Amino acid sequence: MAQAAHMLRTGQRGGLFQLQMAFRDLKGSGQRLGLAWSLAWHDIVSRYRGSILGPFWITLSMGLMVLGIGFLYANLFKIPLNEFLPFVALGIVFFGVMTGVINEGCDTFVQAKGMLSQTSLPMFTFVWRTVLRNLISLAHHLVIVLAVLTVYGYWARADVPQALVGLVLMIVNVSWASMLAGIASARFRDIPQIVVSVMQFAIFMTPVFWTPDRFSGQHMAILHANPFYHLLDAVRAPLLGQAVAPHSYLVLVLMALGGWTLTFALFARTRRRIVHYL
Amino acid sequence: MSHPVSITCTGLTIRFPVYGVDAKSLKKSLARTLSVGGKLGRHFGSTDVTALQDLNLQLKAGDRLGLIGHNGSGKTTLLRALSGAYEPDEGSIDVYGRIAALLDLGLGIDLSATGYDNIRLRGRIAGLSAKEIEARLPEIAEFTGLGAFLAMPVKTYSAGMQARLAFATATAVECDVLLMDEWIAVGDAEFQKLAHKRLLSLVERAGILVLATHDVDLLRLYCNKVMRLEGGVASEVTDIRRLDELLAA
């Protein structure tokens, strides 16, 4: 009983105080990352309980999609298979991470209702839970990435450290989008529908199933205005031995800063209300 | 920086925004914002309910407070506020000590997972490390009395068996401040006796107990102080010996 914990909760004391409390929540979640990991792991285990392949079912269906689209579009677009198949494979796997984190973000707080309404657990814990859950899924789908890169001999060209930097930037960015979706969905139950539609639209508007070099001139502007293009390219291009445009990194860093500022400000404002939304 | 276990509430006021089913729809909310004409309330689409009003409370180690009051008088709200889940709108809550809230036995129970997995998960939520849980697992397992069933999914359990599991895990936590909502009567007579013993020892170990209940016998059994809530307004904290006066009031 030596280290008695201390909890202080007070009424509204202005914006700065709210911000301070929001930071305290974030810090608290950092200390309890193990809990977020346990919850994420439990989610995966319970989602696939009783199934033999578990999360590999999704990997399998992704793999089939990669093969189907890879062969079909390579023929339609007259692109060599050894270029197009790895491109599609990486696109589908890594876009899947973004879709997963953002779509499941809508459920982050709604799903945690029971825990939020009777414990003082940091709210960020549940955001990390959603992110970590999708990283566990990604770890399964990496099988596809490894297979494709090996079969088509990309390892000599692939820049793995740079791809990892891209992955970190991607996760940092989709995390704020996920949390934003979580807060908005808790308050307005229409948001999940909207988010799902946007993500579906995005996968077709982003070079996942088609290559960006099919764009010409002025249309490139549209491509570069698509944040998902930069997010995906930062991970995919290095693995394919291609260069990432320097301004992509600028976009990603600015987007991370802007997005987190917005999300954090909203969180600071709504933190004490979220539990009542549920 | 060890500080004696205590609870201090000053001028605690909690208001609930009640979001109607309508207000959760973005369209309705937008429509309200965009529509011209009549003045909109400050919280359009929601009404505030004052669940607790200007509550003052001071408890120190050894205090076992019983909360009484009609349904909807704010007992559970107070417990949730003390657990840190609800933030005050005015005033403050200051708690020294590790808090354990046993408000919902079903917290963190996954029906398709095994009994053991549920114990682990619940322990993690309560703040135990994986190691601590493994160390405590045999003791919790024994207390449930479920034996080999613990390796089976919880959905195969009877209601009483589920209650045993939930109770055993929920009460396995070391804490200084214990918050309980009435649900003490679980399981069969034999288990109730065990549960009672366990609660008493928990109450002895815990510095402070706050228990919300309608059961007068239970109050006399566990508590030494009592507070009555009515429409979110609290009475003075009085000695349990004056319970009858409080009830009559």
- A-chain CB neighbours of B106 within 8 Å are 114
Q: Under an 8 A CB cutoff, do B96 and A273 touch?
A: no
Domain count, chain A: 1
Partner residue facing A119 (CB), from B3, B83, B106:
B83
Closest CA to B164 of B144, B140, B141: B144
Q: Under an 8 A CB cutoff, do B96 and A5 touch?
A: yes
pLDDT of residue B74: 85
- B-chain CB neighbours of A42 within 8 Å are 110, 113, 117, 121
The region of weakest confidence among A30-44, B59-73, B169-183 is: B169-183
Looking at residues A15-37, what average pLDDT do you find? Answer: 88
Looking at residues A84-96, what average pLDDT do you find? Answer: 94
B117 in a domain, yes or no?
no
Domain count, chain B: 1
Number of helical H runs and strand E runs in chain B = 8, 10
B12 in a domain, yes or no?
yes
Looking at residues B136-165, what average pLDDT do you find? Answer: 85
* Closest CA–CA distance from residue A191 to any residue of chain B (Å): 8
A12 in a domain, yes or no?
no
* Closest CA–CA distance from residue B103 to any residue of chain A (Å): 7
pLDDT surpasses 70 at A4: no
Residue B212's DSSP bridge partners are: B67, B181
- B-chain CB neighbours of A46 within 8 Å are 110, 112-113
Residue B63 domain boundaries? 6-98+212-248
B47 in contact with A, Cβ within 8 Å: no
B131 in a domain, yes or no?
no
CATH number at residue B53: 3.40.50.300
Highest mean pLDDT, choosing among A3-12, A68-77, A215-224: A68-77
pLDDT of residue B22: 53
Looking at residues A6-13, what average pLDDT do you find? Answer: 78
Q: Under an 8 A CB cutoff, do A12 and B89 touch?
A: yes
Q: Kindly indicate the confidence band of residue B41, based on its pLDDT and cuts at 50, 70 and 90.
A: very low
* Closest CA–CA distance from residue A197 to any residue of chain B (Å): 16
- A216 compared with B117, residue with greater pLDDT: B117
Partner residue facing B108 (CB), from A10, A115, A191:
A115
The region of weakest confidence among A65-79, A234-248, B179-193 is: B179-193
Closest CA to B104 of B39, B186, B170: B170
B106 in contact with A, Cβ within 8 Å: yes
- A-chain CB neighbours of B180 within 8 Å are none
Chain B residue closest in CA terms to A37: B124
Chain B residue closest in CA terms to A21: B87
Q: State the DSSP H helix or E strand holding residue B158, giving kind and residue range, or none if neither.
A: none
A17 in a domain, yes or no?
no
Q: Residue B149 phi/psi, 5° resolution? A: -65, -20
The region of weakest confidence among A28-42, B19-33, B105-119, B187-201 is: B19-33
The region of weakest confidence among B34-48, B52-66, B142-156, B233-247 is: B34-48
Q: Under an 8 A CB cutoff, do B125 and A2 touch?
A: no
Q: Kindly indicate the confidence band of residue B43, based on its pLDDT and cuts at 50, 70 and 90.
A: very low
B46 in a domain, yes or no?
yes
Window B:144-203, CB contacts with A under 8 Å:
176
Residue A230 domain boundaries? 33-39+53-277
Number of helical H runs and strand E runs in chain A = 12, 1
Return d(Cα B127, Cα A28) in angstroms, integer.
Answer: 12
Structure tokens that stand for A202 in this block: 């995005």
3-class secondary structure, B239: strand
The region of weakest confidence among A115-119, B37-41, B85-89, B150-154 is: B37-41
A18 in a domain, yes or no?
no
Looking at residues A235-252, what average pLDDT do you find? Answer: 92
Strands B99-102, B90-96: pairing is unpaired
B74 in contact with A, Cβ within 8 Å: no
Q: Under an 8 A CB cutoff, do B93 and A7 touch?
A: yes
B11 in a domain, yes or no?
yes
Return d(Cα B86, Cα A275) in angstroms, integer.
Answer: 7
B147 in a domain, yes or no?
no
Return d(Cα B46, Cα B50) in angstroms, integer.
Answer: 13
A44 in a domain, yes or no?
no
Q: Report chain A's mean pLDDT, rounded to a whole number.
A: 89
Q: Under an 8 A CB cutoff, do B107 and A114 touch?
A: yes
- A-chain CB neighbours of B118 within 8 Å are none
pLDDT of residue B32: 57
Query: What's the pTM value of the predicted model, to 2 decimals?
Result: 0.87
* Candidates B6, B7, B19, B176, partner chain A, best to mutate (most A CBs within 10 A): B19
Q: Under an 8 A CB cutoff, do A39 and B124 touch?
A: yes
B54 in a domain, yes or no?
yes
The region of weakest confidence among A102-111, A188-197, B150-159, B170-179 is: B170-179
B123 in a domain, yes or no?
no
* Closest CA–CA distance from residue A72 to any residue of chain B (Å): 41
Looking at residues B72-100, what average pLDDT do you find? Answer: 87
pLDDT of residue A150: 93
3-class secondary structure, A123: coil
Number of Cβ within 10 Å of residue A177's Cβ equals 20
Q: Under an 8 A CB cutoff, do A120 and B121 touch?
A: no
A7 in a domain, yes or no?
no
B44 in contact with A, Cβ within 8 Å: no
Looking at residues B133-137, what average pLDDT do you find? Answer: 87
